């Protein structure tokens, strides 16, 4: 049985069916991401001074991933155009590049960006003990410059056991530059190229710490929203890659032989989804990496 209106317009809507279908789906997607983004706005505006971290993400890597995603948006539209012009070989090439871009994007996210966060440690100092760690926080200096206070000490955790062992009473942290030289404006975040860790090691007593863990979602509101939104976005990228791969395999060629316009329309619809995923990233990138 043939599915009706895959290539011809339905008289009452003036469109082939999948086109309406995808736009209705994208409308619901706008609400899904809209909900998360409005939560982000809510949480960020209400963050206490110093509690919304800046410059913890790797900007060059994020910029590269943005460029990769934009590139794949171009190639998917070119793949569709190639089908429209009945150039199947070109379609295969452009679609192949698109799939590759999606995989690279995910690989960077899962093999580098997220694990990098899981290996980064941060300790929020109790409000009444901030003065004790002044040499790492430099809050007198921050006050002079009219900047928000620092409440967290970050770096590489040397005694990893301290996270779980109640008999260990302090954290040994190889400090990030910002805590090693807190009064030097040059070590301030954000930075385009991430600064290397300092050689300085600080000992932070657990009793002085409000809470401390690696940069996992529960560490703070920033990472909770970051992992939620980039995670959901990553799932969308994965979904797109799977659908594109399905069209790229011989199953796509078979459909092309039967009805090239049908394959073109399928690619157009999947492409619309892909552009939407790109569009979401266009907002995610500046909000989390840059601002």
Partner 1 sequence: MNETQQPTATEVIADGHVKAGHAQEEPMHDDHSHVAAHVNKYLMVGGLLLLFTGLTVFLSYVDFGTHKMNMAVGMVVATIKAGLVAMIFMHLNAERQLIYRILVFTVFFVLALFFLTYLHWYDPISR
**Per residue in 202-217, is it b (16+ CB within 10 Å) or e — as a string?**
bebeeebbeebebbee
Q: Does 154 bind partner 1 (CB under 8 A)?
A: no
Closest distance to partner 1 from the beta carbon of 240 (Å): 14
Question: Of the listed pieces 58-66, 128-136, 195-203, 206-214, which binds partner 1 according to CB under 8 A?
Answer: 58-66
Question: Between vectors from CA 51 to CA 162 and to CA 170, what angle results, nearest 5°?
Answer: 15
The Cα–Cα gap between 139 and 135 comes to: 9
Closer to partner 1 by Cβ: residue 30 or 108: 30
Q: Long-range contacts made by residues 46-51, C-beta under 8 angstroms, separation at least 24?
A: 47/221, 49/148, 49/149, 50/148, 50/149, 50/150, 50/151, 50/152, 51/151, 51/220, 51/221
Closest distance to partner 1 from the beta carbon of 105 (Å): 14
DSSP notation for 175-199: E-HHHHSTT-GGGPSP-SSPPPPPS
Question: Of the listed pieces 27-35, 133-141, 161-169, 172-180, which binds partner 1 according to CB under 8 A?
Answer: 27-35
The Cα–Cα gap between 231 and 110 comes to: 10
Binders in 191-250 for partner 1, by CB under 8 A = 192
Q: Does 143 bind partner 1 (CB under 8 A)?
A: no
Binders in 160-189 for partner 1, by CB under 8 A = none
Structure tokens at 273: 């989804």
Q: Does 35 bind partner 1 (CB under 8 A)?
A: yes
The Cα–Cα gap between 53 and 26 comes to: 32
Q: Does 51 bind partner 1 (CB under 8 A)?
A: no
Q: Does 39 bind partner 1 (CB under 8 A)?
A: yes
Q: What is the size of the binding site for partner 1 (CB under 8 A)?
A: 61
Binders in 83-142 for partner 1, by CB under 8 A = 84-88
Which residues face 121 on adjacent strands? 155, 214
Q: Does 145 bind partner 1 (CB under 8 A)?
A: no
Binders in 244-263 for partner 1, by CB under 8 A = 256-257, 259-261
Q: Does 41 bind partner 1 (CB under 8 A)?
A: yes
Closest distance to partner 1 from the beta carbon of 265 (Å): 9
CA distances from 250 to 39, 74, 92, 246, 257 (A): 43, 23, 10, 8, 11
Q: Which helix (H) or strand (E) element contains residue 154?
A: strand 152-157
Binding test (CB under 8 A) with partner 1, winner from 215, 223, 227, 285: 285
* 3-state SS, residue 148: coil
Rg (CA), the chain: 24
Closer to partner 1 by Cβ: residue 14 or 166: 14
Closer to partner 1 by Cβ: residue 155 or 194: 194
Binding test (CB under 8 A) with partner 1, winner from 56, 178, 271, 288: 271
**First-residue to last-residue Cα distance in the chain:** 53
CA distances from 9 to 6, 265, 282 (A): 8, 12, 32
Residues that bind partner 1 (CB under 8 A): 2, 4-9, 13-15, 19-20, 23-24, 27, 30-31, 34-35, 37-39, 41-42, 45, 59, 63, 66-67, 70-71, 73-74, 77-78, 81, 84-88, 190, 192, 256-257, 259-261, 271-272, 275-276, 278-279, 282-283, 285-287, 290-291
């Amino acid at each position: 049985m043939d599915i009706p209106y895959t290539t011809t317009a339905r008289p009452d809507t003036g469109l082939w069916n999948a086109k309406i279908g995808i736009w209705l789906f994208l409308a619901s997607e706008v609400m899904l991401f809209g909900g998360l983004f409005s939560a982000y706005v809510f949480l960020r505006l209400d963050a206490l001074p110093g509690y919304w971290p800046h410059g913890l993400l790797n900007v060059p890597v994020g910029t590269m991933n943005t460029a990769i995603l934009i590139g794949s948006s171009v190639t998917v539209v070119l793949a569709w155009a190639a089908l429209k012009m009945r150039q199947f070989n070109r379609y295969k090439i452009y679609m192949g590049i698109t799939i590759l871009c999606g995989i690279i994007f995910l690989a960077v996210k899962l093999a580098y960006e997220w694990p990098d966060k899981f290996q980064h440690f941060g300790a929020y100092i109790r409000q009444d003990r901030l003065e004790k760690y002044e040499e790492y926080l430099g809050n007198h200096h921050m006050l002079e410059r009219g900047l928000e206070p620092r409440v967290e000490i970050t770096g590489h955790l040397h005694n990893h056991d301290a996270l779980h062992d109640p008999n260990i009473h302090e954290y040994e942290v190889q400090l990030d530059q910002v805590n090693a030289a807190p009064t030097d404006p040059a070590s301030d975040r954000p930075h385009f190229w991430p600064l290397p860790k300092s050689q300085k090691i600080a000992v932070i007593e657990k009793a002085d710490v409000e809470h401390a863990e690696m940069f996992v979602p529960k560490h703070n509101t920033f990472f909770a929203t970051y992992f939620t939104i980039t995670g959901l976005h990553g799932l969308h990228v994965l979904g797109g890659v799977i659908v594109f791969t399905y069209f790229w395999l011989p199953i796509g060629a078979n459909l092309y032989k039967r009805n090239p316009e049908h394959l073109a329309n399928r690619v157009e619809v999947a492409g619309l989804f892909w552009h939407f995923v790109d569009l979401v990233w266009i907002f995610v990138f500046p909000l989390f990496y840059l601002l």
